[in-house]
């Protein structure tokens, strides 16, 4: 952790801390400032007639949270075994839970090392990705929460 601490102190002004999550084998990063909690979603009540990626609603310590199935959002096949995890975020004063495969670690990455989305990235991915970080041996896609959820607001409107 010393290396990490170092980097925090050195580049705190222009570096961002990310919580990494795994969805369908791909590493994603969420800015830590947006993540309120990490929890195991239990007794999710499905919401009929809602958008397919809405997994349902659940009670998180007295708050009603709308759970989004990220695998479905990214057009990935559903998780076959094991429990999904969820990352609690807040968007426009409402609570959402992003259901993911597993939570990784916290990384501190310089904002400058982020690269724009490759032009050949799947459109459905590109619309929720805020760029890519090159890590050792793997790539981390930055999840842009505002775009991820914002797109879902308009979608049902169009459908309706």
Dihedral of alpha carbons 122, 143, 18, 23, sign: negative
User: Is the distance from CB of 131 to CB of 116 less than 8 angstroms?
Assistant: yes
Compose the 50-79 pattern: x for residues touching other proteins by CB under 8 A, - for all others.
Answer: xx--x-xxxx--x-x-x-------------
Looking at 4-12, 33-41, 90-98, 131-139, which segment touches other proteins (CB under 8 A)?
90-98
Which tokens go with 31? 């800015």
Helices and strands of the chain, counted as H and E runs = 4, 10
Assigned token pair, 76: 């990935």
The interface mask with other proteins, positions 119-148, x = CB under 8 A, is: ------------------------------
Shortest Cβ 69–other proteins spacing (Å): 13
Q: Does position 47 bind other proteins by CB under 8 A?
A: yes
Which structure tokens are listed for 133? Answer: 């970080």
The C-alpha angle 64, 143, 5, rounded to 5 degrees, equals 100
Closer Cβ to other proteins, 10 or 45, answer by number: 45
Does 40 sit near other proteins (CB under 8 A)? Answer: no
The residues pairing with 56 across neighbouring beta strands, listed in sequence order, are 67
For other proteins, which residue of 2, 3, 9, 48 counts as binding (CB under 8 A)? 48
Q: How far is the CB of 154 from other proteins (least distance, A)?
A: 10
Q: How far apart are CA 94 and CA 91, in angstroms?
A: 5
Interacting residue ranges for other proteins, rule: CB under 8 A: 43, 45-51, 54, 56-59, 62, 64, 66, 92, 94-96, 149, 152-153, 156-157, 160
């Amino acid at each position: 952790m010393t290396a990490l601490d170092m980097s925090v102190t050195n580049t705190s002004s222009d570096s961002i801390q990310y919580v990494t999550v795994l969805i369908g084998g791909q590493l994603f990063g969420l800015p830590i400032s947006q993540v309120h909690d990490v929890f195991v979603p239990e007794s999710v009540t499905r919401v009929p007639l809602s958008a397919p990626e809405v997994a349902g609603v659940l009670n998180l310590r007295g708050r009603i949270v709308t759970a989004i199935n990220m695998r479905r959002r990214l057009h990935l096949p559903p998780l076959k075994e094991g429990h999904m995890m969820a990352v609690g975020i807040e968007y426009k004063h409402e609570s959402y839970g992003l259901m993911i495969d597993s939570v990784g670690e916290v990384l501190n990455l310089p904002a400058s090392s982020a690269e724009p989305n490759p032009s050949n990235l799947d459109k459905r991915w590109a619309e929720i990705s805020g760029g890519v970080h090159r890590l050792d041996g793997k790539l981390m896609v930055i999840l842009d929460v505002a775009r991820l959820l914002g797109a879902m607001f308009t979608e049902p409107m169009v459908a309706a």
